[in-house]
Structure 1
Amino acid sequence: MTTFTSSVAADPNSIVPKASRLKRELARANRRKTRSAAFLVVPLLALVFVFFAMPIIGLLTGAVHSPTYADNFPRSAEHLHAGHPFDEAFYEALFLDIRAADDARTTGKVGRRLNQDQPGFSTMLKSANRASRRETPTKGAFRDWFATGDARWVDPEFQAAMRRSAQPYTDFFLLKSLDLTRDIGGTLASVSPDKALFVDVFLRTLGISLGVTLICCVLGYPLAWSLVQASPTWRNVMLLGVLFPFWTSLLVRTAAWVIVLQKEGPINSALLGLGLIDAPLTLVFNRFGVFIALTHILLPFLVLPLYSVMKAIPRDYMRAAKSLGARPAYAFLTAYFPQTLPGLSAGAILVFIMSIGYYITPALVGGPKDQMISYFIAFYTNNTINWGLASALALNLLIVTLVLYALYQRITGNGRVSVGV
């Protein structure tokens, strides 16, 4: 010890290189560990990106990217991109595009895209396609050839639709998903009331989701409190009942509610047998059935986070409040309830966001006026093959969800709900 102390005292700087070398070796070891961990995670990240992120990005891109016209009718699209009018040169380019698309068998794709903007284009293109096989207009007579075949080819509304569709990037689908459109001059305008649909559907979706969330809060809070207060044996039984819906298929649970709530179902039969009603009640294929089925499906998602928070609250707080003279109700509202707000808010936002995107349950137990926005996304994806509008609706739904989640984070403050003083 004396020797080591004396050597250090003799050369106090000799230990510095050793400390620097140890730091460098430790940094290298940490980098090796980081590289090894990253190497193990890379396959998972690649899998998530390829099979999860890329399809979503591709779907959402379809809301603003629509190159169908430009890819299949390049000559007329280039004419319109340059800002040229609908003159003889345009109609000659359009004729050549129709002939080329006929050979490539892509006329139908362009017709469907134009038809989404202005109904009637699909029939016009088919007629022009058949006529182009029989004859070719002389030089300088292309515009008259189109006008003679169908006067709508020179109609300003149809020309404006072609100019909009010729742009590979467009706001057409986003505007349509908000019941907006552009007139011939390009000015934003609301669609006619008989064509307005999606704003009402979004409001309906938010209303149903908010109603389901409130019902789950009213039913789930006392259930979670009962779980905390129950004995271990009864708690396990009650938790089994809460978790049991997860063990059955969503489709089976929804179909079961159709059977239970129908006019010949057990509920109506019991009410008729007790003499409480004279005729069967309409409990399904309406908004009531949607609320019942969605509440049954989503209630566990509120109970479980709320139960986890309640279980961590010491019971001494309530006893201390009562010992200080507070009545049970006042003690509950001041000493217990504020501490459960993080779990209640987390469960509520989870239920709300999940209910926004539900499709099967409202489709099976709801009526025509109870369908939510996810139904229309599926409809335009599978039935009409209108991917642009389906992508726009999905993008709007995603934006609404992110905004609501951001508001939740702002209100709760990283999981802490402020209730004021």
Structure 2
Amino acid sequence: MTFLAPIGFMLWKSVYDPEVAGLLGQTRQALAKWQTSTGLPGPEGFDALSRDLRDLTGDGRVSQLALRLNRERSGMRQLIEVTADAIAEYDRPLLEIDPRWGDPDTWVLLKRMTQPLTARYFLSAVDLQQTPQGSIVRQDESRRIYVYLFGRTILVASVVTAVCIILGYPFAYALATARPRMQRLLFFIVMLPFWTSLLVRTTAWIVLLQRRGVLNEILVAMNIVSERSRLELIYNLSGTLIVMTHVLLPFFVLPLYAVMKGIPKQYVRAGKSLGAGPVRVFLRIYLPMTLPGVLAGAALVFILSLGYYVTPALVGGRTGQLISNQIAFHVQTSLNWGLAAALGSILLVIVVVLTMLLSRVTQRGVL
């Protein structure tokens, strides 16, 4: 339950938004039977909204409604606040307060926002929106960020996984074939990151990689780079890739080591005794037997990379941010939990699909 309940709450939150419906209860009832194709709602719709705004002014919740509607359409905050003040002071008709209440699109937005079950969060999560006429179109170009971030997240996860395979395979082989004393040393190297705080490790990389950091100072001292050509290795995508690879490399090495340790040495010796060279023995015997470990380690690193948050937040800068950072922003700063839940749900679906594909590939013996 502790595992499934938060996931279920996230999925429900991504399609359920009762906030506006709770604030505009009378308006919701009045607009329930209104056909948007008929233009403006009848007088009962205007009167219901006036009563709701008067009640919200008395409760001090007008700003809550204004902020929530402004998140969907720019300018709604000013319209709601001005209208609420005028109703409280003069009790004038809505059309006399602001001519924008004569725009059918404004009422279509109100009707859509007063429906608790909604798909708008998922539409926003893939850079789409619903027009007042009901069609689905792309967001304005300045607001299309989430599809790009999903693509960048998958790209970063793929690159980190590939680098972990390149670095981790020979290290795991050395760990599996080393003598006991050397093996203990290599194990210490693998386990050391787990004994160190992630924040400490990330801060250490900042010291090493920054423009005036250790690495750049060494390169300048050795005349490999000039003073003006110092490498930009931090607060960008490069910093995210370097630090994530360092943090996640042990998660690839350990599963692969477990598989390598279980491979009988007689198989390799048999291949050599039958005349195969070292390269042929490796490609035809050893590598195929280690592929389950490679697959398990790569899947673990890739899935962990998809949801990584701390490292991109500290060293990613503007170009190294991933989708997890946007999820955290909407949870902690913008308080748009519905959009955060939709983004998290899409990320969850990606992980589940990849896991199912991995399981099917393994069952069919493709690797």
**TM-score category, normalised to shorter length:** over 0.9
Report the secondary structure of 2:137's partner residue: strand
Partner of 2:302: 352
- CA deviations 1:201-244 (Å, max 9, x no partner) are 10000000110000001100000000011101110110111010
Match of 1:71 among 22, 25, 28: 22
- Is 1:97 matched up with 2:52? yes
Match of 2:248 among 284, 293, 298: 298
CA shift, 1:158, in A, is: 2.2
- CA deviations 1:57-116 (Å, max 9, x no partner) are 223211110111111111111122223452221010000111122223332222222122
Is the contact between residue 81 and residue 167 of structure 1 (CA under 8 Å) also seen in structure 2? no
- Whole-angstrom distance in 1 between the partners of 2:102 and 2:126: 29
CA shift, 1:156, in A, is: 3.1
CA shift, 1:181, in A, is: 0.8
CA shift, 1:262, in A, is: 0.7
Match of 1:377 among 327, 330, 346: 327
CA shift, 1:161, in A, is: 1.5
- Is 1:149 matched up with 2:104? no
Report the secondary structure of 1:66's partner residue: coil
- Is 1:53 matched up with 2:4? yes
Report the secondary structure of 2:259's partner residue: helix
CA shift, 1:249, in A, is: 0.9
In the alignment, residue 358 of structure 1 is paired with which amino acid? Answer: Y
- Whole-angstrom distance in 2 between the partners of 1:88 and 1:230: 84
- Whole-angstrom distance in 2 between the partners of 1:319 and 1:156: 81
Listed as ranges, the matches of 1:235-250 within 5 Å are 235-250=183-198
- Is 1:388 matched up with 2:343? no
- Is 1:129 matched up with 2:84? yes
In the alignment, residue 157 of structure 1 is paired with which amino acid? Answer: D
Report the secondary structure of 1:368's partner residue: coil
- Whole-angstrom distance in 2 between the partners of 1:124 and 1:406: 49
Report the secondary structure of 2:112's partner residue: helix
Match of 1:339 among 260, 274, 289: 289
- CA deviations 1:366-389 (Å, max 9, x no partner) are 121221001001111111111111
- Whole-angstrom distance in 2 between the partners of 1:376 and 1:301: 25
CA shift, 1:417, in A, is: 4.5
CA shift, 1:55, in A, is: 3.2
Listed as ranges, the matches of 1:253-272 within 5 Å are 253-272=201-220
Bigger Rg over Cα: 1
Match of 2:122 among 150, 174, 180: 174
Partner of 1:220: 168
- Whole-angstrom distance in 1 between the partners of 2:320 and 2:207: 19
- List gaps (5 residues or longer) in structure 1: 1-48, 138-144
- Is 1:251 matched up with 2:199? yes
Change (3 A) 1:183 1:394: same
- List gaps (5 residues or longer) in structure 2: none
- Whole-angstrom distance in 2 between the partners of 1:399 and 1:159: 34
> Mean alpha-carbon deviation: is it higher for 287-296 or for 100-109?
100-109
Report the secondary structure of 1:189's partner residue: strand
Q: Tell me the TM-score normalized by structure 1.
A: 0.83
Partner of 1:201: 149
Partner of 2:32: 81
Change (3 A) 1:93 1:361: same
Is the contact between residue 180 and residue 188 of structure 1 (CA under 8 Å) also seen in structure 2? yes
CA shift, 1:315, in A, is: 1.1
- CA deviations 1:309-366 (Å, max 9, x no partner) are 0000011111111111111111101111111111110110110010111111011111
The alignment of Structure 1 onto Structure 2 pairs a total of residues equal to 361
Report the secondary structure of 2:282's partner residue: helix
Change (3 A) 1:367 1:346: same
- Whole-angstrom distance in 1 between the partners of 2:271 and 2:323: 47
RMSD of the TM alignment (CA)? 1.4
- Whole-angstrom distance in 2 between the partners of 1:250 and 1:220: 20
Q: Tell which has more relative contact order, 1 or 2 (C-alpha 8 A, sep 6+).
A: 2
- Whole-angstrom distance in 2 between the partners of 1:277 and 1:169: 58
- Whole-angstrom distance in 1 between the partners of 2:113 and 2:284: 61
Taking every aligned residue pair, what percent have the same amino acid on both sides? 39
CA shift, 1:285, in A, is: 1.1
> Mean alpha-carbon deviation: is it higher for 58-67 or for 215-224?
58-67
CA shift, 1:160, in A, is: 2.2
- Whole-angstrom distance in 2 between the partners of 1:380 and 1:320: 59
CA shift, 1:52, in A, is: 4.3
Report the secondary structure of 2:173's partner residue: helix
Is the contact between residue 239 and residue 320 of structure 2 (CA under 8 Å) also seen in structure 1? no
Is the contact between residue 63 and residue 174 of structure 1 (CA under 8 Å) also seen in structure 2? yes
Is the contact between residue 25 and residue 52 of structure 2 (CA under 8 Å) also seen in structure 1? yes
